[in-house]
Amino acid sequence: MKRPRAIDRAYIFEYDVGQWAFGTIQVLQCRETGALKSCKTVPKSILGRSSAHMFPNLKKLEQLQHPHVSTINTLEDEHCLYIISEFTEGGDVQDWMERLEEAQCQLQEKTCATYVRQLILGLTHCHALGIYHRDLRPGNLTLTSKLPDAQVKVSDFGLAPVLDPDNAILHRLTPSRYTAPEIRTSSSPITSGAPDMWSVGAIAHRLLVGRAPSEVKGAPTLLERMTGSRSEDPWLERSSAAKDFVQCLLPTDPNQRLSAVNALQHPWLKSHAPVSLWRRDNKSMQDIQFKTLCYMLSVLMIPVLVPHRDWEQLRVAFRRSDHDGDGFVLSHDAMRVIRQRCFLKEAVAAALAIADVGKTDVLDLCTTSVADLIAREFFAAGPTAAPLAGPFTASDLAPRMIKKFFETFGKQQKVVTLAGISSKLRTATARDVEQYCGVQYSVILDGLPEDCNLDEKILQAHLGKHAGRGTPLGVGHSEIVEAPPWLMPFGASIISLFQGCQIGAAHRSSSPHSLTIC
């Protein structure tokens, strides 16, 4: 079969994959780099109207750059549009779930929360740019590898609204179980992220209980199929926080659903998908620990180092940038707010990167205040008021902040007391930080010994053990879980499960996504 010249100049055909809503899918190899790519071919004949305006809109989508969004490149010829995207070795979440169900295994709740959190991080970025997906489903969530630290990347972002703006093609197809109710019945263009958030809720529902919310009520869940018994409550094995999260995304009224920004703040994601994201490499874990330490030290020093009128100006500027009044701003808005107070752009950018411990690109007032303090007090000027040259990293900043903390609370001494810290926190700034930032200084200090001097070792141990507690960074007394198992089999490991079924000796590869049966 003759290949299109638009493709053949840059790519070598590898194999056909199958169909998608707008055409066919192939895997190609880049002639220049040898890297595999996914190619989605869209015949112009199915688009129903002139496609001349579509190609420029598709080219705009090439500008999307985010760790959890697949990048695309678009080509066209007389007959077709070609959408070239990343080829991910880990497959997609749909394939992974089907393999687990065949093995009568389900994802651990922390894994579900991590997948969902990474999905929402991608949505937050795109929604802020006015770009919506409209066709989210588990098959759109690709995995970067088959290794335990595989990241989720959302594919096809923005394609459906461009190729099918009035939902005409979607209405001719069997509706996806993950498509929002208003999309199934309306021909109006997408103007908000609410339909995507319904899809997130439906995906989370499937990950957690084994079926989408729109599936037949009487269909057995994964747990019921595995145990052979029926339960009236499919959420029996899941946390109440997980159920509440899903319920907050599935109201029929789009205005009642959580936005992507607010979904990131839900207790289920903050407690079950902590900022560690289960990174196994020591470098990533150490970076998170240093950032968290810098965040907590900043929260403690703001009431002493930032005059009340100064902090009030920051609060007012933040409120003006919070256009929808939800208590959060995007990182570039926070950058603009702090740049009005600190002119060294590199210092502000580095401070924001440290303060945003979870890499959400969405900041509340507390995180913005932390970044403001770090930028102005530690990065903007050195001892002679000359701009610092760096390095602007959390590991380099932490020792300087600890030194400053003891200078501030210990009067140049290397030890402080709990009473001394508490007395210095009785400021107007501290009062307003607690009122407007969700900070509880008594909770942060709870557990520190009252009858002895506190040195650097005791302070770091306390802040590390209760990372984020008493601030928006933490939820209750949840702890960061390091490298939990990726699967939650019922009564046995996945290997013993196969052995118990007399299938043969099972050998697990280094990847949790791979299982070889001998």
* Domain CATH for 68: 3.30.200.20
Please write the tens of the pLDDT for every residue from 129-163. 889 999 999 999 999 988 767 899 999 999 988 88
pLDDT band at 411 (very low <50, low <70, confident <90, very high): confident
In a domain? residue 517: no
Q: What is the pTM for the complete model shown?
A: 0.78
Residue 479: pLDDT over 60: no
47 and 192 co-located in one domain: no
Residue 515: pLDDT over 80: no
Strands, E assignment, 311-409? 329-330, 362-363
196 and 157 co-located in one domain: yes
Preceding amide of 391 cis, omega within 30: yes
Residue 404: pLDDT over 90: yes
360 and 437 co-located in one domain: yes
- Alpha-carbon gap, residue 132 to 353, rounded angstroms: 26
Q: What's the confidence (pLDDT) of residue 232?
A: 63
81 and 95 co-located in one domain: no
Q: What DSSP string describes 362-390? A: EE-HHHHHHHHHIIIIIIS--TTSPPP--
Check if the beta carbon of residue 196 is closer than 8 Å to that of residue 133: yes
Nearest to 159 by CA among 23, 312, 292, 289: 23
19 and 119 co-located in one domain: no
Please write the tens of the pLDDT for every residue from 257-284. 999 999 998 989 988 765 544 455 577 7
In a domain? residue 510: no
In a domain? residue 64: yes
Q: What's the confidence (pLDDT) of residue 149?
A: 75
264 and 298 co-located in one domain: no
Q: What's the confidence (pLDDT) of residue 1?
A: 54
Q: What's the confidence (pLDDT) of residue 122?
A: 94
CA dist 503 → 98, 509, 513 (Å):
19, 17, 19
Q: What's the confidence (pLDDT) of residue 387?
A: 57
In a domain? residue 196: yes
Residue 136, domain CATH: 1.10.510.10
153: β partners: 142
Range of the structural domain that residue 23 is part of: 5-86
Residue 224: pLDDT over 60: no
Q: What's the confidence (pLDDT) of residue 490?
A: 32
Q: What DSSP string describes 285-297? A: HHHHHHHHHHHHH
In a domain? residue 386: yes
For the chain, give the percent of residues with pLDDT over 90.
47
308 and 457 co-located in one domain: yes
Residue 513: pLDDT over 60: no
144 and 41 co-located in one domain: no
208 and 357 co-located in one domain: no
Q: What's the confidence (pLDDT) of residue 371?
A: 97
Q: What's the confidence (pLDDT) of residue 59?
A: 86
In a domain? residue 396: yes
107 and 19 co-located in one domain: no
In a domain? residue 231: no
In a domain? residue 478: no
9 and 121 co-located in one domain: no
80 and 96 co-located in one domain: no
Which of 229, 245, 272 is the last residue before a domain boundary? 272
Which of 466, 484, 501 is the last residue before a domain boundary? 466
pLDDT band at 220 (very low <50, low <70, confident <90, very high): low
10 Å CB burial of residue 161 (0-12, 13-18, 19+) is: buried
Residue 485: pLDDT over 60: no
Which of 449, 466, 483 is the last residue before a domain boundary? 466
Containing 432, the helix (H) or strand (E) segment is helix 428-437
Q: What DSSP string describes 234-262? A: TTTTS-HHHHHHHHHH--SSGGGSPPHHH
State the total domains in the chain. 3
